Structure 1
Amino acid sequence: MDDPASHLPSPHAPATILRLAASLGLPAPTSTEPLTVTAAFHRIYLLHFPASAAPALAPARPNDDGSVTLVLRVSGDHLPRIKTENEIAMMRWVRENTSVPVPAVVRWDSGCENVLGCEFSLLERVRGCSADKVFWGMGDEVRRRVVEQLVGYLAELREKSRWKHVGGLRVDEAGEIVPGPVVDEWFWMAPMVERFWASTGETVESLNPVDGPFTSWGEHV
Structure 2
Amino acid sequence: MGEHRAMLPRHIEASQISALLDSLGEPQPDHIEPLQVTAEYHAIFILSYRSPKADWILRVSGAHIPEIKTRNEVGMMKTISEKTTIPIPRVVHFDASTSNSLGHEYTILERASGISVDKVYDTLSELTKHALMQQLLEVLVQLDALQWNFIGGLAAQDDGSVVPGPVVDETFWQTSDIAEFWGPAESVETLNVQGPFTTFVDYCNAHLEKYIHMIKTHESMRWLRDLIPRLQATITMATDRAIALNDTRLILAHRDLHFANIMFDPETERISSVLDWEFSNIVPAARWNPAHAFLWNGQAGPRSLEEKARLYADFERQCKQRQILVDYKFTPLQEAIQQVVTYVRALTEVCPRAQQKDSVAGWRRSAEEALESLGV
Counterparts of 1:44 and 1:173 in 2: how far apart (Å)? 22
Q: Which runs of 5+ in 2 are unaligned?
A: 205-376
The amino acid that maps onto 2:191 is: L
Counterparts of 1:204 and 1:41 in 2: how far apart (Å)? 16
Give the drift of 1:199.
3.7
Give the drift of 1:140.
2.6
Mapped contact 1:180–1:213 kept (Cα < 8 A): yes
**1:192-214 Cα distance to aligned partner (Å, 9 max, x none):** 222333342x221111112x100
**1:103-156 Cα distance to aligned partner (Å, 9 max, x none):** 000000000000000000000001221212323422232222221111111111
Counterparts of 2:31 and 2:119 in 1: how far apart (Å)? 29
Residue in structure 1 matched with residue 166 of structure 2 by the alignment: 181
Counterparts of 1:45 and 1:6 in 2: how far apart (Å)? 18
Q: What is the root-mean-square deviation in Å for CA atoms of aligned residues?
A: 1.5
Counterparts of 1:140 and 1:197 in 2: how far apart (Å)? 49
The amino acid that maps onto 1:49 is: Y
Relative to 1, partners in 2 of residues 1:180 and 1:137: Cα closer, same or farther, differing over 3 Å? Answer: same
Counterparts of 1:136 and 1:48 in 2: how far apart (Å)? 30
TM-score of the pair, normalised by structure 2: 0.52
Residue in structure 1 matched with residue 201 of structure 2 by the alignment: 218
Relative to 1, partners in 2 of residues 1:68 and 1:77: Cα closer, same or farther, differing over 3 Å? Answer: same
TM-score of the pair, normalised by structure 1: 0.87
Relative to 1, partners in 2 of residues 1:132 and 1:194: Cα closer, same or farther, differing over 3 Å? Answer: same
1:117 is matched with which residue: 103, 108, 112?
Answer: 103
Mapped contact 2:71–2:157 kept (Cα < 8 A): no
- Number of paired residues? 204
Counterparts of 2:129 and 2:178 in 1: how far apart (Å)? 45
Structure number having the greater helix percentage = 2
Give the drift of 1:188.
1.1
Give the drift of 1:174.
4.4
Residue in structure 2 matched with residue 166 of structure 1 by the alignment: 151
Relative to 1, partners in 2 of residues 1:192 and 1:141: Cα closer, same or farther, differing over 3 Å? Answer: closer
Residue in structure 1 matched with residue 23 of structure 2 by the alignment: 23
- The 3-state SS of whatever aligns with 1:107 is strand
Residue in structure 2 matched with residue 208 of structure 1 by the alignment: 192
Counterparts of 2:93 and 2:184 in 1: how far apart (Å)? 37
Give the drift of 1:93.
0.7
1:75 is matched with which residue: 61, 80, 86?
Answer: 61
Residue in structure 2 matched with residue 56 of structure 1 by the alignment: none
- The 3-state SS of whatever aligns with 1:80 is coil
Relative to 1, partners in 2 of residues 1:173 and 1:23: Cα closer, same or farther, differing over 3 Å? Answer: closer
Q: Which moved more, 1:27-36 or 1:171-180?
A: 171-180
Mapped contact 1:79–1:204 kept (Cα < 8 A): yes
Give the drift of 1:217.
2.5
Q: Work out the percentage of aligned pairs sharing the same amino acid.
A: 40
2:80 is matched with which residue: 89, 94, 113?
Answer: 94
